């Protein structure tokens, strides 16, 4: 596979989602209403096009959904979602062999990036991976969430590399694999079960086998 960069999704791709769910139970009980409403508007916002101002729309949708003021909605988003939530990741171990995989990729001269739907903040530092990653982007910067093409265009533009020379690695079939492959990127799907007719160039269960799978493509 002729690629110049490997770009990883973060949640559920660099560390197991289920660990995050366990750690975030107390977060859910602190903000049950917010968690439910925020989850709902994030799913809806993926399907809205065009979006003029992502943050403005998200704030407005949350305020309408929870029947709260725009200022309160802002506080929830900035202080609760983007700050407290991130703290849940403190001490979270990355998946086994993620580090070694990134070191191997770097040794081959490939650029390594991450693209998450959420702000990255200190997540990479908490996972102990920050020194191995060349750039970290949030889809929100592009004005849209995955699987829209804009986040992937942002990656390609940041790298100044055409999409077909980027391998995107993710755990979510629709957001990561369909999103990145529709934009023309190569894709690797972290999954326990292979999906029939998946456009992914390869799928893998564990990073232990990532390099072999990559080399066989």
Three-state secondary-structure class, residue 31: coil
Residue 56: its H or E element: helix 54-66
Give the footprint of Mg ion on residues 124-183 (CB under 5 A): 171-172
The nearer residue to Mg ion, 16 or 149, going by C-beta atoms, is 16
Stretch that binds Mg ion, among 10-18, 29-37, 51-59, 138-146 (CB under 5 A): 10-18
User: What are the structure tokens assigned to 174, written together?
Assistant: 């629709």
Dist CA 62 CA 160 (whole Å) = 35
Q: How far is the CB of 177 from Mg ion (least distance, A)?
A: 11
Among 9, 38, 114, 145, interactor with Mg ion by CB under 5 A: 9
Q: How far is the CB of 69 from Mg ion (least distance, A)?
A: 31
Stretch that binds Mg ion, among 7-15, 159-167, 195-203, 205-213 (CB under 5 A): 7-15
Dist CA 44 CA 12 (whole Å) = 21
User: What are the structure tokens assigned to 36, written together?
Assistant: 């439910």
The nearer residue to Mg ion, 12 or 121, going by C-beta atoms, is 12
Query: Is 201 a binder of Mg ion (CB under 5 A)?
Result: no
The nearer residue to Mg ion, 11 or 165, going by C-beta atoms, is 11
Stretch that binds Mg ion, among 8-16, 25-33, 130-138, 154-162 (CB under 5 A): 8-16
Residues in the chain, total: 217
Among 12, 121, 149, 199, interactor with Mg ion by CB under 5 A: 12
Q: How far is the CB of 25 from Mg ion (least distance, A)?
A: 19
Three-state secondary-structure class, residue 187: strand
Among 4, 11, 57, 132, interactor with Mg ion by CB under 5 A: 11
Phi, psi angles (nearest 5°) of residue 162: -65, 150
Count interface residues toward Mg ion (CB under 5 A): 5
Q: Which residue's Cβ lies closest to Mg ion?
A: 12
8 A C-beta contact, residue 151 and residue 65: no
Dist CA 162 CA 156 (whole Å) = 6
Specify burial of residue 210 (Cβ count, 10 A radius: 0-12, 13-18, 19+).
buried
Dist CA 153 CA 149 (whole Å) = 6
* Residues at the site binding Mg ion, with contacts judged by CB under 5 A: 9, 11-12, 171-172
């Amino acid at each position: 596979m002729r690629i110049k960069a490997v770009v990883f999704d973060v949640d559920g791709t660099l560390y197991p989602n289920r660990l995050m769910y366990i750690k975030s139970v107390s977060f859910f009980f602190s903000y049950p209403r917010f968690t439910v409403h925020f989850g709902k508007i994030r799913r809806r916002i993926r399907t809205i096009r065009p979006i003029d101002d992502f943050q403005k729309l998200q704030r407005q949708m949350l305020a309408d959904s929870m029947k709260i003021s725009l200022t309160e909605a802002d506080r929830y988003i900035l202080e609760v979602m983007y700050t407290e939530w991130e703290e849940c990741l403190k001490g979270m171990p990355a998946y086994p062999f993620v580090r070694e995989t990134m070191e191997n990729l770097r040794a081959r001269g490939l650029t390594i990036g991450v693209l998450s739907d959420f702000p990255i903040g200190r997540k990479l530092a908490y996972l102990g991976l920050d020194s191995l990653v060349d750039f970290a982007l949030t889809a929100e910067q592009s004005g849209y969430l995955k699987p829209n093409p804009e986040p992937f265009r942002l990656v390609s533009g940041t790298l100044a590399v055409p999409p077909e020379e980027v391998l995107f690695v993710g755990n979510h079939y629709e957001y990561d694999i369909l999103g990145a492959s529709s934009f023309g990127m190569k894709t690797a799907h972290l999954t326990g079960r292979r999906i029939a007719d998946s456009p992914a160039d390869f799928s893998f269960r564990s990073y232990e086998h990532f390099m072999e799978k990559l080399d066989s493509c």
